[in-house]
A and B are shown apart, each in its own frame.
Chain A
């Protein structure tokens, strides 16, 4: 679950997958340069974590991104092969963007295993909490780096993503319809809930039986 309007993740993913590396690196340098102007208070708070490096690994994009926090500078760039960092965060691009923008709760995606965090947990927690105190819109930050091209690009990305969401919605509805047709009108989500409840009940029964078995095996 996330709050607020979703970023145009599809368009962003498409760009990250198709843009040549040098152009992407240049774009990230421009975004980094703009951070000081757009998020001065956030950068001051992040400096408390310095020196610290954060590696973001979107599972659905071929690139990895390195955020380096130094006492007087924060830079975002492409990570070279073999780069390691104090903290590595791995998840789908949409999950990582939701976290960075504060629209997604990090504990929730940790519980559901949509996010993996390894490395220095103190720096990871500090980073999450400092970031959560700031309203960030990564797309706006990226667009700001484009100068006068920002608004036309925003409109194109917004339209593309809205179309993708509509298509995804239709595909989902068709899938549910097909399932109902194939299974005598049963609801797929209801089936899923019933199966999950059944497994939970079986787990509880199994645990009870195991306890009973252990007690029976204990010497009197």
Chain B
């Protein structure tokens, strides 16, 4: 594949989304198996082994890459499905696996020494010492950096970490303790870290009460939206919590990340790849976001002006942010 301005890594929750991403211009697609081994374990989503085999073959026919996310943390005594996921990804021809747990990294590096390993954002490796450990111990080739770093901090990391850096470019933002969020499990008994689900669907309720839409998770009210107010995901970190009688977003506001305006800074900082978030989103979303980023990256590559494609309609709450890249985390 010809080197691009920045590698565009795109999500696929279904085989249809994988094909859509590639047709829209993704360089690389990431996806997961339909079980708790990946952090988007939602009903009806993800790939069985045959889907994955066909998806990888489709991508390779188009000269693109597929990364398999096996980025949750095995529960004690249940490591077999994580090991099987690594074995199957390797056997099916995945270009890399995205891992978070040190036990799974250890297994993959010993059992499949030729398999390219990427460190998931779920590992929360946000400093050079941590990354050096993963590089030296398991031979990771790329790290997905947590969304807590400013662009200068990313530049510093890239200069010292000795592996490729992939950063988030578009999509939802969660609480800034990547891989360590257990808020969901307090309300539902299931968490993103081990079950791959934040706000599991079976615990979510949307109810219309008078003029309001009320969202509940595990029976606890997360938010109330008056008619015509932009809605948010039913996740605990986006809950509007009432303290001293005043409702406010204590953890995170419902906004979406979009780095289109700072792509040159990220390139200059030494970033290798951009990650679009959203394996739980539809193929319509994948198509629109990937097309927009492809157009922006190709324009930058040619030194042409930005096409200025507006993606604000696709993000949570209808509001965009640069996240920590430009302001530093509070």
**Contact, CB under 8 Å: A133 / B284:** no
Specify which of B15, B227, B231, B283 is in contact with A111 (CB 8 Å cutoff). B231
Return chain B residues, CB-CB under 8 Å to A194.
none
Asked whether A3 is an interface residue with its Cβ less than 8 Å from the other chain, the reply is: yes
Asked whether B295 is an interface residue with its Cβ less than 8 Å from the other chain, the reply is: no
CB distance from B267 to the nearest CB of A (A): 27
- Whose C-beta in chain B lies nearest to the C-beta of A125? B201
Asked whether B281 is an interface residue with its Cβ less than 8 Å from the other chain, the reply is: yes
Asked whether A185 is an interface residue with its Cβ less than 8 Å from the other chain, the reply is: no
**Contact, CB under 8 Å: B230 / A3:** no
Asked whether A112 is an interface residue with its Cβ less than 8 Å from the other chain, the reply is: yes
**Contact, CB under 8 Å: A105 / B285:** yes
Specify which of A117, A121, A132 is in contact with B283 (CB 8 Å cutoff). A132
**Contact, CB under 8 Å: B208 / A125:** no
**Contact, CB under 8 Å: B225 / A122:** no
Interface centre among B14, B200, B246, B318 (most CB of A within 10 A): B14
Return chain B residues, CB-CB under 8 Å to A48.
44
Interface centre among B44, B208, B225 (most CB of A within 10 A): B44
Return chain B residues, CB-CB under 8 Å to A108.
284-285, 313-314
**Contact, CB under 8 Å: B42 / A129:** yes
Instruction: For chain B, residues 284 to 317, give those with C-beta under 8 angstroms from any C-beta of chain A.
Output: 284-285, 287-288, 313-317
Is the interface on chain B under 10, 10 to 19, 20 to 34, or 35 or more residues? 35 or more
Return chain B residues, CB-CB under 8 Å to A106.
282
Q: How far is the CA of A124 from the CA of B43 in the complex (A)?
A: 9
What's the count of A-B pairs with C-beta under 8 Å? 107
**Contact, CB under 8 Å: B316 / A111:** yes
**Contact, CB under 8 Å: B313 / A129:** no
Known contacts A113-B227, A118-B207; A127/B288 CB under 8 A: no
**Contact, CB under 8 Å: B314 / A1:** yes
**Contact, CB under 8 Å: A105 / B284:** yes
- Whose C-beta in chain A lies nearest to the C-beta of B291? A3
Instruction: For chain A, residues 82 to 112, give those with C-beta under 8 angstroms from any C-beta of chain B.
Output: 98, 102-108, 110-112
CB distance from B33 to the nearest CB of A (A): 15
Number of interface residues of A (CB under 8 A): 38
Asked whether B13 is an interface residue with its Cβ less than 8 Å from the other chain, the reply is: yes
**Contact, CB under 8 Å: A122 / B284:** no
Interface centre among B205, B206, B248, B280 (most CB of A within 10 A): B206
Asked whether B204 is an interface residue with its Cβ less than 8 Å from the other chain, the reply is: yes
**Contact, CB under 8 Å: B17 / A105:** no
CB distance from B316 to the nearest CB of A (A): 6
- Whose C-beta in chain B lies nearest to the C-beta of A108? B314
Instruction: For chain A, residues 4 to 56, give those with C-beta under 8 angstroms from any C-beta of chain B.
Output: 45, 48-49
Asked whether A59 is an interface residue with its Cβ less than 8 Å from the other chain, the reply is: no
Q: How far is the CA of A98 from the CA of B282 in the complex (A)?
A: 12
**Contact, CB under 8 Å: B201 / A133:** no
**Contact, CB under 8 Å: B314 / A129:** no
Asked whether B244 is an interface residue with its Cβ less than 8 Å from the other chain, the reply is: yes
**Contact, CB under 8 Å: B201 / A112:** no
Asked whether B124 is an interface residue with its Cβ less than 8 Å from the other chain, the reply is: no
CB distance from A76 to the nearest CB of B (A): 19
Q: How far is the CA of A104 from the CA of B316 in the complex (A)?
A: 15
Specify which of A2, A49, A111, A121 is in contact with B318 (CB 8 Å cutoff). A111
Known contacts A116-B206, A121-B202, A133-B16; A127/B231 CB under 8 A: no
- Whose C-beta in chain A lies nearest to the C-beta of B217? A121
Chain B interface (Cβ < 8 Å from any Cβ of A): 13-17, 42-45, 200-202, 204-208, 213, 225, 227-232, 244, 246, 248, 280-285, 287-288, 313-318
Q: A106-B282, A113-B228, A113-B231 are in contact. List 15 more A-B contacts (CB 8 A).
A: A3-B287, A105-B281, A105-B282, A105-B285, A107-B316, A108-B314, A118-B208, A121-B202, A121-B205, A121-B206, A126-B44, A126-B201, A128-B282, A133-B16, A134-B16
Can you list 8 A-B pairs with a CB-CB distance of less than 8 A?
Answer: A3-B287, A45-B44, A102-B16, A112-B230, A112-B231, A113-B231, A132-B13, A132-B283
Chain A interface (Cβ < 8 Å from any Cβ of B): 1-3, 45, 48-49, 98, 102-108, 110-113, 116-118, 121-130, 132-135, 207, 210, 214
